[in-house]
């Protein structure tokens, strides 16, 4: 699959949202529910982009607005440079949606499924890429097998194939590895990277934070319909705020008792850890890397008379960032 760069948006933005909001009207006297609140976001083309958030954050509403199945309340959205209000048909043609649900006809073969979808998108016979897509998703050998005989991982890949029949430059993968084992997850990761290498912009929603951390170039975290943060993945992790240095101490070789040495460490000028704990001669020091380095800590530990036999550091991961940014959220105004 090759993306026609001549049709690419000149500003390099695959998807642009400006103040996008959605309010669902309450039924039978119940209050309205605001699912999206002033969402403004720009996703660069050619990236693998993570869209993360807890259940109910508004991810599905956003995807459904882009797919044309839910009408926005206000704001605007451009898909590959095309406004969803001004040219909804072309905007929908610029995006492929891979849903969480395995919505595949059990009595169709993969080939028949792709041909049917191509027909629904009015792709001319001479422009269809059924064989090429089957090869890209690794289902050439299963092309004529009934879908009901395919494994869960194969069905997931077939969903991706369905979304690719009209060669959209943007592909939204909604929980693509949900319920598959580790081996199949790795294969799906390879396929995602392969599509991205061909120029496809991938928007990925997932609850597997390790998956987002491994695959995504940039990540946006939303909660209760609001954008909480957006950054390059490496910057998001770098700004997580703390690292952990775990030191194994040799109690027989301390200049004083371990507890006395740790007490002395705590009074050392410049030593300002976020948290410090001592358990069975293992000293754990949580520190902010922008205020204190591991080398400085080790120097202070040595000055305090502590003898270290082993050390290891723990970097913050995306789960730490996610939990910190989505805890105790302020809910949207339900009466909007």
Among left, alpha and beta (phi > 0; psi -120 to 50; other), residue 58 is left
C-alpha span between 22 and 40 (Å, rounded): 13
Q: CA separation (Å) from 6 to 83, 137, 169, 304, 327?
A: 18, 26, 12, 65, 44
Cβ–Cβ < 8 Å for 255, 289: no
**pLDDT above 70 covers what percent of the chain?**
93
Q: Taking residues 303-329, what's their average pLDDT?
A: 80
Provide Rg for the chain, Cα atoms.
Answer: 25
What pairs with residue 21 in β-bridges?
A: 74
What pLDDT is recorded for position 5?
Answer: 62
Q: Taking residues 20-45, what's their average pLDDT?
A: 91
Q: Quick one: how many helices (H) and strands (E) in the chain?
A: 11, 14
Residue 335 pLDDT grade (very low, low, confident, very high; cuts 50, 70, 90): very low
Which of 321, 296, 140 shows the shortest CA–CA distance to 239? 321
What pLDDT is recorded for position 287?
Answer: 82
Domains (range + CATH), the chain: 5-94+168-238 (3.40.50.300), 243-315 (3.30.70.100)
C-alpha span between 188 and 1 (Å, rounded): 17
What pLDDT is recorded for position 70?
Answer: 94
Residue 14 pLDDT grade (very low, low, confident, very high; cuts 50, 70, 90): very high
Residue 274 pLDDT grade (very low, low, confident, very high; cuts 50, 70, 90): confident
C-alpha span between 6 and 19 (Å, rounded): 28
Structure tokens at 280: 């069975």
What pLDDT is recorded for position 269?
Answer: 85
What pLDDT is recorded for position 331?
Answer: 52
Residue 336 pLDDT grade (very low, low, confident, very high; cuts 50, 70, 90): very low
Q: What is the mean pLDDT of the chain?
A: 87
What pLDDT is recorded for position 237?
Answer: 76
Q: Identify the burial level of 259 via C-beta atoms within 10 angstroms of its C-beta, where 0-12 means exposed, 13-18 middle and 19 or more buried.
A: exposed
Cβ–Cβ < 8 Å for 108, 142: no
């Amino acid at each position: 699959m090759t993306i026609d760069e001549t049709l690419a948006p000149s500003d390099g933005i695959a998807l642009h949202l400006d103040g996008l909001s959605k309010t669902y009207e309450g039924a039978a006297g119940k209050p309205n529910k605001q699912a999206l609140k002033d969402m403004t976001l720009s996703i660069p083309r050619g990236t693998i982009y993570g869209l993360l958030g807890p259940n109910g954050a508004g991810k599905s509403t956003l995807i459904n607005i882009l797919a044309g199945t839910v009408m926005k309340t206000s704001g605007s959205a451009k898909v590959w440079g095309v406004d969803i209000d001004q040219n909804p048909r072309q905007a929908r043609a610029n995006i492929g949606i891979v849903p969480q649900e395995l919505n595949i006809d059990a009595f169709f073969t993969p080939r028949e499924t792709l041909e049917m979808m191509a027909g629904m998108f009015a792709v001319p016979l001479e422009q269809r890429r059924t064989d090429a897509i089957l090869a890209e998703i690794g289902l050439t050998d299963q092309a004529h097998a009934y879908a009901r005989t395919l494994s869960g991982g194969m069905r997931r890949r077939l969903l991706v194939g369905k979304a690719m029949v009209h060669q959209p430059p943007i592909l939204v993968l909604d929980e693509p590895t949900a319920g598959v084992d580790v081996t199949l997850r790795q294969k799906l990761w390879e396929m995602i990277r392969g599509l991205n290498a061909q120029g496809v912009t991938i928007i990925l929603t997932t609850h597997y934070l390790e998956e987002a951390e491994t695959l995504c170039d940039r990540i946006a975290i939303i909660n209760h319909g609001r954008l909480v943060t957006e950054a390059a993945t490496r910057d998001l992790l770098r700004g997580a705020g703390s690292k952990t240095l775990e030191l194994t101490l040799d109690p027989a070789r301390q200049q004083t008792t371990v507890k006395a040495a740790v007490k002395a460490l705590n009074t050392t000028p410049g030593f300002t850890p976020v948290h410090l704990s001592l358990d069975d001669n293992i000293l754990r020091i949580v520190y902010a890397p922008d205020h204190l380095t591991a080398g400085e800590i080790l120097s202070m530990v040595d000055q305090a008379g502590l003898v270290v036999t082993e050390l290891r550091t723990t970097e913050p991961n995306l789960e730490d960032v996610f939990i910190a940014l989505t805890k105790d959220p302020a809910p949207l105004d339900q009466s909007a």
